[in-house]
Amino acid sequence: MTTAVGRLATRHRRAGRRFPRDPGPDGSMAELKTRPHGGDVRGFLEGVENETRRADAFEVLELMRRVTGVEPRMWGASIVGFGEYRYKYDSGREGDWFVAGFSPRKQALTLYIMSGFDGHERLLEKLGRHTTGRACLYVKKLADVDLEVLEELVRRSVEHVSRRSAE
């Protein structure tokens, strides 16, 4: 079965462009564009047009700050990330990423949390109205979900990332 990422990679290659997960001519991997910087997190969130999404983003900001125990940083133009860890794949590719993060996108509030920990599916079943992607949890509005369950998901995700990055 071909995935959306696979189809995108094929289109890039046919057009003679390098897909981010492809090695370059020298064998090096493309650099991630999403990097931490000193951008103003509060200013970014205050610029969110949708009033509900903006209020939800500030609530998630406090939730993730409380769970991670670290101050947020901007990653790229539109992601608020907490903490940082180094990952390394079996292929040799490695990089830095945030432990937990979110972005108040137009379609949904996107939470970047890791799945794969024990009880993940059970917590999602109790969460309320949401959709998921590979490492994303999409919520239209926080009023649609159980905030205690959301906090537990974030907490367990952070613990999972911390364990995996320590290995």
Q: Which fold has domain 34-166?
A: Aspartate Aminotransferase, domain 1 (3.90.1150)
| Distances in whole angstroms, Cα of residue 162 to Cα of each of 85, 96, 113, 115 | 8, 13, 12, 13
Mean pLDDT across 144-151: 98
Residue pLDDT, tens place only, 51-88: 999 999 999 999 999 999 999 999 999 999 999 988 87
The tokens for 21 are: 């997960």
Mean pLDDT across 18-44: 67
Query: pTM, whole model, 2 decimals?
Result: 0.79
Q: Would you list the domain boundaries of the chain? A: 34-166
Token pair 């830095």 in the structure block, residue:
96
Residue 52: CB partners within 8 Å, gap ≥ 6? 141
Q: How confident is the model at residue 4 (pLDDT cuts 50, 70, 90)?
A: very low
Helix pair angle (120-127, 147-166), 10° resolution: 160
Mean pLDDT of the chain: 85
Considering only CA atoms, which of 32, 156, 39 is closest in space to residue 97? 32
| Distances in whole angstroms, Cα of residue 107 to Cα of each of 27, 50, 81, 98, 127 | 37, 10, 19, 22, 19
Partnered with residue 97 across adjacent β-strands are 85
* pLDDT value at residue 13: 55
Mean pLDDT across 5-24: 52
Q: How confident is the model at residue 19 (pLDDT cuts 50, 70, 90)?
A: very low
* pLDDT value at residue 94: 80
Residue pLDDT, tens place only, 79-129: 999 999 888 777 777 888 899 999 999 999 999 999 989 999 999 999 999
